[in-house]
Structure 1
Amino acid sequence: MSDHDLKIDELMDGEELTEKQKKIIISAIESFAEKGYSATSTSEIAKKAGVAEGTIFRHYKTKKDLLLAIVAPVMAKFVAPFIIKDLNKVLHQDYEHFEDFLSAMLKNRRDFLVKNLATVKILVQEIPLHPELKELFKEHIALKVYERFEKIVEHYQANGQIIEIPAYSVVRMTFTSIFGYLIARYMLLPEAEWDDEAEAERTIQFIMHGLAGPNSSKN
């Protein structure tokens, strides 16, 4: 079994795929990530996969169905499992401090992103262009994750570690900071010289303390 097969099997969460389906999905991921969805034809995907174009349509009715088959699992796994799994860890004091939770979340999702870079790239590129992906995002991320993350925020607010602002604001600021860093690091500017550990720590400290310096007060 190749590395590609292992990644596909992990991403599809044990779903039974034929060898031809795996080849189609791998080829589609590579092509969509490189050229974008709209610029990629099913004939190109078929040629890259070494299958007849009709084989694609036997498994996926349209090119959009193929896109959704690729993106839905990565969307479901990009954020949700960590938040859902680690909610209990937070509530049972495995992460005594919000800062520890943030650090663990960043490292956990960074590892996932590195393993699934091409697929996440497709997700980021295509969400603004497809209403179906926006709906999937709402279903997998906005609804499932927000409810659990809200409990985490309330937990740390109750013991004074997070300021008393609406939970949705904490969620927005936290996720935009962490995923903004990851997208810049691995998609927008991967060729830059990054000190990963230092940049991760700066991101966490920004979430915890903002940018205000000792002389920032207006008074």
Structure 2
Amino acid sequence: MYNRDFIMEELFEDEEGLTEKQKKIIIAAIESFSEKGYAATSTSEIAKKAGVAEGTIFRHYKTKKDLLVSIVAPMIAKFIAPFVIKDLYKVLDQQFERFEDFLKAMIENRAEFLKNNLPMFKIFIQEIPFHPELKALFKEHIVNKVYERFSELIKHYQDRGQIIELPAYSIVRLVVSSIFGYLFGRYLLFPEADWDDEAEIERTIDFIMHGLKPKN
């Protein structure tokens, strides 16, 4: 279960001008969009969960779409991006002897991050494909900042002969899609299943390395 108080503390640190009612609306929106999705959530439901009148929402946010973009989108820049990049760089900046070791550290790192931030992750997965504003922010604050560092790391292991000579963007796509597939199934599709996480991580790594190891 995510730490609601921690989210509130991080989101509103150094933030001025927000009332307690606005903070309640934000948390209610996070929880409602995560549980039901943007399209299936009404502003009246958000208001009820927040303990405010529906009119209070519209005094601050003109429409439900404005609520999504004005509250959820800034979280990418203010909350998600710094944690994703800082947390992921802990892995990217370490010196791992083998590419397999790097993959394992990255999967474990991302799994821990998702467990602690599952509601936001669910919102982004559900809504980013349908809202260009969120997609642009995600690309600007996360994708572009991580890709260059990731590409350098791939070149490092290619120079050591551990992975095949493919364009960096192809390797990033193959690696990320495999890791994301495991995390998506583990934490969103089938979280109630009897998972052997250690074994599943090893299978994911074996699958990736089977395609990326140079042919002798």
TM-score by length of 1: 0.82
Q: Could you say which residue in structure 1 is the equivalent of 2:86?
A: 81
What is the RMSD of the two structures over their aligned residues, measured on CA atoms? 2.5
Instruction: Name the amino acid aligned to 1:174.
Output: V
Contact 1:29 1:118 in 2 (8 A): yes
Contact 1:5 1:22 in 2 (8 A): no
Q: Could you say which residue in structure 1 is the equivalent of 2:72?
A: 70
Cα 1:81/1:101, change in 2 over 3 Å: same
Taking the TM superposition and a 5 Å limit, the aligned residue runs for 1:2-151 are: 3-10=3-10, 12=11, 14-16=13-15, 18-68=19-69, 69-71=71-73, 72-73=75-76, 75-76=80-81, 79-89=84-94, 93=95, 95-151=96-152
Cα 1:27/1:163, change in 2 over 3 Å: same
Contact 2:91 2:109 in 1 (8 A): no
Deviation at 1:188, TM superposition (A): 0.9
Alpha-carbon separation, structure 2, partners of 1:78 and 1:185: 21
More deviation in 152-161 or 61-70? 61-70
% same residue: 66
Instruction: Name the amino acid aligned to 2:51.
Output: G
Q: Cα deviation per residue 1:57-101 (whole Å; 9 max; x = unaligned)?
A: 444444334323225436525743334344332xxx3x2222111
User: Which consecutive unaligned segments of at least 5 residues does structure 2 have?
Assistant: none
Alpha-carbon separation, structure 1, partners of 2:14 and 2:189: 32
Contact 2:98 2:162 in 1 (8 A): yes
Alpha-carbon separation, structure 2, partners of 1:185 and 1:67: 26
Contact 1:79 1:145 in 2 (8 A): no
Deviation at 1:172, TM superposition (A): 0.3
Q: Could you say which residue in structure 2 is the equivalent of 1:215?
A: none
Deviation at 1:185, TM superposition (A): 0.8
Alpha-carbon separation, structure 1, partners of 2:53 and 2:100: 52
The alignment covers a number of residue pairs equal to: 206
User: Which consecutive unaligned segments of at least 5 residues does structure 1 have?
Assistant: 213-219
Alpha-carbon separation, structure 2, partners of 1:204 and 1:147: 22
Alpha-carbon separation, structure 2, partners of 1:49 and 1:24: 5
Cα 1:47/1:137, change in 2 over 3 Å: same
Alpha-carbon separation, structure 1, partners of 2:182 and 2:83: 15
Cα 1:211/1:161, change in 2 over 3 Å: closer
Instruction: Name the amino acid aligned to 1:70.
Output: V
Instruction: Name the amino acid aligned to 1:14.
Output: E
Instruction: Name the amino acid aligned to 1:165.
Output: L
Deviation at 1:142, TM superposition (A): 2.7
Deviation at 1:47, TM superposition (A): 1.3
Contact 1:33 1:121 in 2 (8 A): yes
